[in-house]
Structure formats: structure tokens, C-alpha cells
Amino acid sequence: MKRLDRIRDGVMQNKGIDYYAQGVIGRNRLVMAKTITLIESTLPAHQELARQVMDALLPHTGKAVRLGITGVPGAGKSTFIESFGMMLTEKGLRVAVLAVDPSSPRTGGSILADKTRMEKLSVEERAFIRPSPSGGTLGGVARKTRETMMICEAAGYDVIMVETVGVGQSEVAVASMVDFFLVLMIAGAGDELQGIKKGVLELADAITVNKADGDNVERAKLARQQYETAMHLLSPPSPDWSTPVLMCSSLAGSGLEDIWETVLKHRKIMNDKGDLEKKRSEQSRLWMWALVKEGLEEWFSKNAQVVNLLPLIEKEVVSGKITATSGAARILSFLQNYDLTTT
């Protein structure tokens, strides 16, 4: 197995920038998959090549609608994404579905079953579904998902849907890389707002009550009213946009057109005001600094002197000999006095 891995790594490294970049731009799905594998690699040589490939692809990115999707447990995200994606492909649009699931390295993650969860969309010629990258940390997974999104854009996909899996900070990570953030809710769950954090609702550009079909329609209407009331108490994500509360049925296909029209309306308002370009520029700036912090933390943890120093300082903090503030100051003073020319 190790020998096969070495052969694969050598093949990847021997492929030049043009092979990956031109293959992606030429919409070669095999090369596109290889490019995503390249950017997910942790080998330093692959990472350097990946950076060069991403720089080459950059002028070809940015045209897609970037749509983030999250929801409370049981909201039917997979069914919604498949139904919504199929509707978009029927309009002639090319759709990519990505996911941010930091839990997948530990548990195997539901994302491993993406293509079985979305049986119709997974075989649709105009669709592309990519399992969540294994990154170990949310930051690592989000970084790879961002770059995969850019690869999909360079390959000519019109709509990129990024799904959050689980709960926690993944919603914030996804909201920071998309143009429009959709939150799926359900009716008839008692305290409807219990299942999702206030902070997540504040990120929402639209809320949709899913499963509004059959005997559940009236409950969905009531839930919609409750969410509308709740949203009046929260700050909207943009001063030029009031977060609407919609209803849909992923099974029946009703309400999906309304959601797409809402996404396009939001995009037009953002474009007319010049806010979309500003938002993406700010996302790129914050992304760069997040990568700097991630890189510094990784360098710090691998530096031999720091590795020896940290346990001693941690022990003093834990035992109460010094404060956490003093411990942090001692560690940071090492960085301030470190001669970077020696590395």
C-alpha cells in the first residue's frame, strides 16, 4: 500500500501546472478530481504545486452563485439539496455540491454516503458531488472546501452549494465563504427555535420551512409566522436585505422556484450596490489571515524548541505557579526573539 502511495505521489508531483489548470478549465472531470486530490494533499511538494495551480485558476473563478445551506436536525437537507439541485440542472445550470464536515475523520461522517443520499443528482451529467475533505480540524476542512469551490468555478459550474454537517462553528465557516446562506427549519417540533443557535439565524439570508406538505402544511404556515416574528428581533446580515421566511416541500418540489428567485433577487441587490464584490474581497482578506494564523500555529507546534518548552510552561500554569497570561507571554516572547533566518 505504501509503495502504491509513493507511486501516486510521484505521478501527482510530475504533472505540471498546465496539466491541472488547463484540464480544469477544459472541464475534464478526471483532471478536476485529481486537482482536488492535489489540494487536499498534506505533502509539502504537493502543497506548493497546489498553490501555483490555484493562482493559475484564479482569473477563471468568481462567476458562480455560492450558496451555503444548513439546518436543524431532521430538516431534510439531503433531500432538499437533491431536489433543488435537480431543479437547477433542469434549467441547464451546472451544479456542484460540497460539504464542510469536520467530524468525518473521526466517525466516517455521513458525507461518505453523499452519493447514495442523492441518488438522482449524483448521476446527473451537469452535477458534481464531492465528499467532505478530511482535515482533522474545522479550519483544515474549510480551507480545502474553499479551494475546491474555486476549482468548481474554474470548471464552469454555475451554482456551488456548500452544506454544513453537524452543529457548531461549521455554519460560521460556511457563511464566510458563500454569497447567500440558507437555513432550513421544520414545523411541529415544539419550540422551533430551540434546535438552532441565535447566531446562526443572524447569518441567514433566508429561512425556509421545509416539509410543508400533506398534513404538515398548516403547521408549516404557523412555524413560518413564528420565525418571521423572531427574525424581527435579530439584526439582518445586510442593511439592504430583510431576511425572508419561505416554505417548501423537497418531496413535492413546491416552493423551490421561490427560493431560487430569492437567491437571484439577493444577488441582484448585492451586485447593484457593489456589495457582492466587497463581501467576497473581505472574505478573501479574512481567509488569508486565517491561513496565516493556522500556519503560525502549525509552525509553532512543530518547532523543536517550542515542543520542549510548552510542557514545562503548561505544567506551571496547571499547577498554579504562574497565571495563564504569564504562560502565554513567555511562549510569545520566544517567538519575538526567534531568529527566522535560521529556518
Q: 3-class DSSP state for residue 340?
A: helix
Last residue in a domain, options 14, 29, 59: 59
pLDDT grade for 226, boundaries at 50, 70 and 90: confident
Angle (CA) 143-144-149 rounded to 5° is: 100
Range of 295's domain? 284-342
Tell me, yes or no, whether 68 and 27 share the same domain.
no
C-alpha cell at 122: 449524483
pLDDT grade for 87, boundaries at 50, 70 and 90: very high
Q: How far apart are CA 97 and CA 125, in angstroms?
A: 13
- Amino acid identity of residue 77, one-letter, is K
Tell me, yes or no, whether 91 and 169 share the same domain.
yes
What is the number of structural domains in the chain? Answer: 3
pTM: 0.84
> In degrees to the nearest 10, what's the CA dihedral of 140, 143, 145, 148?
-130
Answer yes or no: is pLDDT of 167 > 50: yes
pLDDT digit string, tens, across residues 23-39: 999 999 999 999 999 99
Q: How far apart are CA 79 and CA 100, in angstroms?
A: 17
CATH at residue 298 = 1.10.287
Tell me, yes or no, whether 45 and 66 share the same domain.
no
> Which H or E run contains 91?
none
Tell me, yes or no, whether 1 and 22 share the same domain.
yes
